[in-house]
């Protein structure tokens, strides 16, 4: 998937906030964390001993209205078998979309039980024309808040939903 063209413009404007952590109510990147998780990919490798499944090649994961795509995703199951997913770890061109909101990063770790996604590596979240970027962005899928750390950059549009 193509990268969002907003980040280069944001950096060119020189807009930056201090590199400390910031928490904002950023919007609607949310998911029904109780909904089933559906995964499609080109290949799958399962390790019964570790309780992990590795999907590779054009991986697409859906849960409710949320979609996550990446080149590789490791699914870690909760102890006791493959009946409950504990976490998803995505690498390679990660894109997360939920309604009008989107996020991109080099890697993403989705803790299904906590309902959080941690994006790292040129992480960026957009909602309409509003942009939030940083080295590490943690998004709560339950309430739509985001916590940003390291090289925080933002463009917030007044009156934007």
**Domains in the chain, CATH or no CATH each:** 6-155 (2.60.450.10)
Read off the pLDDT of residues 132-147 as tens digits, 9 standing for 90 and up.
899 999 888 777 777 8
Is residue 92 pLDDT above 60, yes or no?
Answer: yes
Q: 125 with 103: CB under 8 angstroms?
A: yes
pTM greater than the 0.75 cutoff: no
Beta strands in 78-115 (DSSP E): 85-98, 101-111
Q: 19 with 152: CB under 8 angstroms?
A: yes
């Amino acid at each position: 998937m193509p990268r969002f063209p907003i980040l280069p413009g944001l950096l060119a404007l020189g807009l930056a906030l201090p590199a400390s952590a910031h928490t904002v109510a950023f919007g609607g990147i949310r998911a029904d964390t109780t909904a089933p998780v559906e995964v499609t990919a080109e290949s799958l490798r399962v390790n019964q001993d570790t309780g992990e499944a590795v999907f590779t090649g054009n991986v697409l994961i859906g849960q409710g209205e949320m979609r996550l795509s990446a080149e590789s995703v490791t699914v870690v199951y909760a102890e006791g078998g493959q009946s409950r997913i504990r976490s998803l770890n995505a690498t390679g061109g990660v894109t997360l979309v939920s309604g009008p909101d989107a996020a991109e990063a080099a890697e993403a770790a989705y803790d299904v039980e906590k309902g959080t996604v941690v994006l790292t590596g040129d992480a960026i979240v957009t909602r309409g024309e509003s942009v939030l970027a940083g080295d590490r962005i943690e998004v709560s899928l339950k309430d739509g808040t985001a916590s940003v750390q390291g090289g925080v950059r933002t463009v917030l549009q007044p009156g934007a939903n």
